[in-house]
Amino acid sequence: MEYAVYKGEEIICIGTALECAKHMGIKVKSFRFYLTPSYQRRIEKRNKPRNYITVVEIQVKRA
């Protein structure tokens, strides 16, 4: 699976979980936390959620 990582509306990186984690300087386990419902609830409670990291799964069509 591939992911797109955003901070606010700015794209940080696109790639696999391992590639994105390396680019961000964090562990893969930490990267996967950004995909959890509990993280989504955390950022919804904050005053300015647009400044926080969002990870979106990308559907890649293979030929």
pLDDT of residue 44: 83
How far apart, in whole angstroms, are the C-alpha atoms of residue 35 and residue 47? 20
Sign of CA dihedral 18, 20, 25, 26: negative
Q: What is the pLDDT of residue 47?
A: 76
pLDDT, position 49: 62
Edge-to-edge strand list for the sheet holding 2-7: 10-15, 2-7, 53-58
The angle formed by the CA atoms of residues 34, 3 and 15, to the nearest 5 degrees, is 120
Could you state, in order of their start, the residue ranges of all structural domains in the chain? 2-58
Residue 32: predicted pLDDT: 96
Q: Give pLDDT tens digits along the chain (63 positions).
A: 899 999 988 999 999 999 999 999 999 999 999 999 999 898 888 877 677 899 999 987 776
Place of tokens 């959620």: 49
